[in-house]
Structure 1
Amino acid sequence: MKKSRLFLYIIIIGIVVAIMWYDKNNKSIVYIEQTHEEGEEPLQIDVEDIHRGELLLVNEEHGIEKSAKTDIVNLFENKHLIGDYGLIDNKIKLSKEITTYFNEMIEAAKKDGVNNFLISSGYREFQEQTKLYQEMGKDYALPAGFSEHQLGLALDVGSSAGSMAEAEEGVWIAENAWQFGFILRYPEEKKAITGIEYEPWHIRYVSKPHSAIMYDKDFVLEEYLDFLREKKQISTTVDGKNYHIRYYPVSKSMTVNIPKNHNYTISGDNVGGVIVTVYD
């Protein structure tokens, strides 16, 4: 009898701890403040990891010295990489990997009848950003190293049908980019947090499940990183795949434990911590 009551008590606690919510497309996401995994293995984290990965915060306060991607190419010179969209000029550069994800997103948009996309800006060399900053000034550009365009993870998307603030391409991006690991980086109502005016054309790759959580909770990157620092550890299920996300403040090289026999990614926040995402 006591064992039955104990078992029931454990079940009740589990229900209370696990908070179920549904995102805007009715796909369930599970949020758990603490998880426990049977069987763990060590993972080495170095201070340099703070400045590597897809969740790096780049803004007026936090800059970078080099790109997060090493596979940057000129898309005009590599037409086999380009999907069904235009390039505003022959100087557009982007990461090969990010181009693949972008192509997948554009194909999905085509199935919804939205097909007037173009890329107006991608990766910018540090020298190019410096020139842009000198020409446009601080009200319209950021210094080199403080713009997401040096990351290799961001791009400006346009529409041949009109302004992204009004065109169906802009509406589709705002509602669906998260499904492909992208976020709308500078939403209209978040200027006080990002410090940047509304840019319906600027998207940034952060990868799943992070894009899904940010979309569901209406977070910009600054808010999401604050959320992870506060919670330390969360678990989510997105599209049937389980993810366990852990935040670690890092001041020196350290070893942490992660579940055995799982895949994982490591990304710094470019501030002082590292996010380890473990998945099935």
Structure 2
Amino acid sequence: MADRARKVKFKPRRFVGAVAVILLVTFGADTVWRSLSNDEHHNLVIDGDFAEYPTMPETPQQENAVTLANDDSTSTKTVGVENVGQHQLILSEAKVAEGKLAVYAPDRPVKSGYAGDMVNLLSVKNEYYSLYSESIQLESDAAEAFNQLMEDYNNDTGLSDFVVYGTNDTYTGEDSCCPESFTESALGTSVDLALKAYGEVIEYDGLDDESWVVENCWKYGFIVRYPEGKNDTTGHSYCPWHLRYVGKVHSVIMHEKDMCLEDYIRFLADFTLDKPYQYKYDDVDFTIFSVKSTGESTVTYVPLSSSYSVSGNNKDGFIINTPKS
């Protein structure tokens, strides 16, 4: 006889009780989990070796630039960030005796064997002057400037009567048109002049139409090395026939300030890397300063953004020139 299906009767009280039990169990489990999760991590013990990364140092704040000024120039010195935008220049002690602005004397002569980039004048000269000897040489920058000087002299006067009597090895013997030699001539940047007249070579006295060279050579980078009225400073009487190439910006400044080379070197000694002499010529800004020699190696700085030239003064330091157009 088949079993009779049992009829199940729904009892609300039992259902509510079961739901309550489930909720209590769920709540209790959640409470235990939250308690475990809130424990501090330092209570956990982990074995093993771990790399330690060094603490990065703080970057110091940069201070503002300070502008320095004096009667002759204005310069900017960066404070707090040393030598930003500059290139370190190391100058050897031997270089003190070399350069276009070096002052030479019998007791401080040009170093044996030292001369600049020399060229044979016969191979580069123009038609506006003559040579006393075909073997005469001159430093390349000086030769280029001298050619322009002689061309302009011819353009202004119609004359081409100058003779280069000598440069670094001028004849000073009997009947010489340039009867005196100078220690500095060995540098190769000096020109000793004479004149063609009446079919012969005669001494140049700086007078008449030919005075144009004495009056205008500074425009081309030359100076009359022993100018009129500077005997007490140079130790030598006026010598119009002996020119020396120092570079255009220097010759222009010396002309404006009525300075001989000795005056100019003393003038520049007051200007330093931090307070340089500023000069504008032909739309180019020149920064010029002196650096005292500190011995075997002297350190200074020049701008990264411009070229520079260095000359020793043949005494105690260097002169740095940095043009910027």
Match of 1:45 among 69, 91, 101: 91
Of 115, 131, 135, which aligns to 1:68?
A: 115
Per-residue deviation, 1:33: 5.7
User: Which residue identity is paired with 2:192?
Assistant: D
Partner of 2:104: 58
- Whether the 8 Å CA contact 1:56–1:267 is kept in 2: the answer is yes
What is the count of residue pairs matched by the alignment? 240
- Provide closer, same or farther for how the CA distance between residues 60 and 230 of structure 1 changes in structure 2, counting only shifts above 3 A: farther
- Counterpart of 1:85 in structure 2 is 129
Following TM superposition, by how much is the alpha carbon of 1:225 offset from its aligned partner in structure 2, in angstroms?
Answer: 0.4
- Offset of 1:68 from its aligned partner? 3.0
Aligned to 1:3: none
SS at match of 1:94: strand
CA shift for structure 1 position 87: 1.6
**Alpha carbons 1:54, 1:68 under 8 Å: kept:** no
Determine the structure 1 residue equivalent to 2:4.
none
Contact 1:187 1:198 in 2 (8 A): yes
Correspondence for 2:196: 160
Unaligned runs of 5+ in 2: 1-65, 79-83
1:262 is displaced (CA, Å) by 0.5
- Identity across matched positions, percent: 28
Runs of 4+ aligned structure 1 residues displaced above 6 Å come to: none
Please give the secondary structure, in 2, of the residue aligned with 1:274: strand
Indicate the residue corresponding to 1:236 in structure 2.
Answer: 279
Distance 2:105 2:213 in 1: 22
- Find the residue that maps to 2:217 and give its secondary structure: helix
The whole-number CA distance in structure 2 between the counterparts of 1:154 and 1:113 is 23
Shift of 1:147: 1.3
Larger RCO: 1 or 2 (CA < 8 Å, sep 6+): 1
Tell me the alpha carbon deviations over residues 172-212 of structure 1, each in whole angstroms, 9 at most, x when there is no partner: 12221111111111112111111122111110000021111
From 238, 257, 262, the counterpart of 1:217: 257
Give me the TM-score of the superposition, normalised by structure 2. 0.66
Determine which of 304, 311, 314 is the counterpart of 1:260: 304
1:33–1:231 contact (8 Å) kept in structure 2: no
Are 2:154 and 1:118 aligned?
no
Q: Could you tell me whether the CA contact under 8 Å between 1:123 and 1:151 is conserved in 2?
A: yes
Q: Which has the larger radius of gyration?
A: 2
Whether the 8 Å CA contact 1:82–1:99 is kept in 2: the answer is no
Aligned to 1:7: none
1:25 is matched with which residue?
Answer: none
Question: 2-side partners of 1:83 and 1:102: how far apart?
Answer: 12
Query: How far does residue 111 in structure 1 lie from its aligned partner after superposition?
Result: 2.0
Structure 1's 240 and 94: CA in aligned 2 closer, same or farther, altered over 3 A? same
**Alpha-carbon distance in 1 for matches of 2:76, 2:257:** 21
Specify whether residues 253 and 35 from structure 1 end up closer, same or farther in structure 2 by C-alpha distance, changes over 3 A only. Answer: same
Instruction: Give distance in 2, aligned partners of 1:92 and 1:49.
Output: 26
Aligned partner of 1:227 in structure 2 is: 267
- Name the CA distance, whole Å, in 1 between partners of 2:107 and 2:114: 17
SS at 1:69 equivalent: coil
Counterparts of 1:85 and 1:43 in 2: how far apart (Å)?
40
